[in-house]
């Protein structure tokens, strides 16, 4: 499964359960740890993903940051986690204190929904006050996918991320400023446009008169520009259409794809099974494949190397674990917690791929 597809599935899951998360611990377990697992980190290996990492601050000893991603025994990314319903702005200073006491080059502040990425562009070993990247996992922009992918374990390179961080930081600041001006043009912004468009005195009365006019003009221009892009994209699709047969084929593919819906319960089952296999298989090697009839947990995305299958779309839930030869062990269960009764059988199934 492509990274962008994983993001989309994860985004849907987070959006579906965010309102049910009432504590910081629930947020960590349900969405923050799975997020970093999606990025390829073994969140159950303390040598790679260390919980409660000690980061002494001045005279305060024993100060702990929620998580640290480690490389050769040294922290490279510090993560401060908050409850899903908590606003992050109030807690930047806490991560700021932690950052200056370690060798980590990146800090991430998150409530499981929003992820703010920081580094030390302004002064060495001193975390910037503003993030160079901010992502809302339930509303990921296309341009952010490539940047987030740089933090995947398979791609992560400190120098590579630092090289793009400066541009990202100022690009983000410019977009924020432009969005603010679109909503309420400032006096300086107004004067810039009036310099060539209005020859009279730029008094406050004049500025107040033209403020709503500039706002309307800018927003209309953005809207028209987006409409032109949409029309252009539709025109390209029409020009590449290969008769009715292709249209029907695409429609059929879309219909088949839409029938597969990965539920929150299936994802919870996946992470439950994955947690039971810690020490047996590397966390990134435990993957899943959803089908119309069942949910399969497999090794390295290979459907032929399945660890177990779950039938959860009916009132009678069933867990199937492959046995010797072509035999299968079938177990009925009611809740996700019931799956832990079959930990030994799941481990034996997974051991086939650890040799």
The 10s digit of each residue's pLDDT in 199-256 is 888 899 999 999 999 888 888 887 777 667 666 655 555 555 544 444 454 444 444 4
- How high is the pLDDT of residue 60? 54
Residues (pLDDT < 50) of the chain are 242-247, 249-258
- How high is the pLDDT of residue 245? 45
CB-based contacts of 51, cutoff 8 Å, min separation 6: 66, 67
CB-based contacts of 329, cutoff 8 Å, min separation 6: 320, 321, 322, 323, 345
**How many whole angstroms separate alpha carbon 14 and alpha carbon 19?**
9
Task: Share the mean pLDDT of the chain.
Answer: 84
* DSSP 3-state of 293: coil
Asked whether 347 and 280 are in contact (CB, 8 A), the reply is: yes
pTM for this entry: 0.56
- How high is the pLDDT of residue 122? 83
- How high is the pLDDT of residue 23? 93
Asked whether 288 and 326 are in contact (CB, 8 A), the reply is: no
- How high is the pLDDT of residue 229? 64
Q: Which residues pair with 319 in a beta bridge?
A: 310, 331
Query: Quick one: tokens of 131?
Result: 């993030």
For the chain, helix, strand, coil in percent to 5 are 50, 20, 30
**How many whole angstroms separate alpha carbon 131 and alpha carbon 36?**
19
**How many whole angstroms separate alpha carbon 85 and alpha carbon 82?**
8
Asked whether 52 and 64 are in contact (CB, 8 A), the reply is: yes
Task: Work out the burial of residue 104: count CB atoms within 10 Å of its CB; fewer than 13 is exposed, 13-18 middle, 19 or more buried.
Answer: buried
Phi, psi dihedral angles at 340 (to 5 degrees)? -65, -15
- How high is the pLDDT of residue 37? 94
**How many whole angstroms separate alpha carbon 60 and alpha carbon 340?**
41
Nearest to 45 by CA among 270, 271, 288, 283: 283
Asked whether 103 and 134 are in contact (CB, 8 A), the reply is: no
């Amino acid at each position: 499964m492509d990274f962008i597809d994983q993001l989309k599935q994860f985004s849907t899951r987070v959006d579906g359960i965010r309102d049910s998360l009432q504590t910081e611990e629930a947020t960590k377990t349900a969405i923050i740890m799975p997020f970093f697992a999606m990025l390829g980190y073994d969140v159950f290996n303390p040598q790679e993903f260390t919980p409660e990492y000690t980061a002494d601050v001045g005279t305060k000893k024993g100060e702990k940051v929620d998580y640290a991603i480690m490389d050769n025994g040294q922290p490279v990314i510090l993560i401060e986690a908050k409850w899903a319903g908590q606003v992050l702005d109030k807690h930047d200073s806490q991560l700021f204190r932690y950052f200056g006491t370690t060798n980590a080059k990146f800090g991430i502040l998150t409530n499981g929904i929003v992820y703010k990425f920081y580094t030390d562009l302004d002064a060495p070993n001193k975390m910037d006050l503003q993030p160079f990247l901010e992502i809302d996992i339930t509303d990921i922009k296309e341009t952010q996918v490539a940047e987030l992918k740089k933090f995947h374990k398979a791609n992560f390179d400190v120098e590579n991320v630092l090289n793009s961080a400066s541009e990202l930081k100022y690009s983000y600041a410019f977009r924020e400023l432009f969005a603010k001006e679109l909503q309420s043009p400032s006096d300086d912004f107004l004067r810039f446009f009036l310099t060539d468009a209005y020859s009279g005195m730029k008094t406050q009365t004049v500025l107040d008169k033209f403020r709503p006019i500039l706002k309307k003009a800018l927003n209309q221009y953005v809207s028209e520009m987006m409409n032109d892009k949409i029309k252009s994209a539709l025109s390209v699709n029409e020009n590449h259409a290969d008769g009715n047969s292709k249209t029907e084929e695409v429609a059929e593919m879309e219909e088949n794809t839409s029938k597969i819906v990965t539920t929150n319960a299936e994802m919870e089952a996946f992470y439950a099974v994955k947690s039971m296999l810690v020490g047996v298989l590397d966390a990134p090697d435990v993957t899943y494949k959803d089908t119309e009839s069942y949910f399969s947990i497999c090794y390295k995305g290979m459907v032929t190397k399945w660890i177990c299958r779950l039938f959860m779309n009916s009132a009678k839930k069933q867990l199937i674990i492959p046995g010797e030869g072509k035999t299968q062990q079938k177990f009925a269960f009611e809740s996700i917690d019931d799956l832990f009764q079959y930990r030994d059988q799941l481990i034996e199934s997974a051991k086939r791929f650890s040799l």
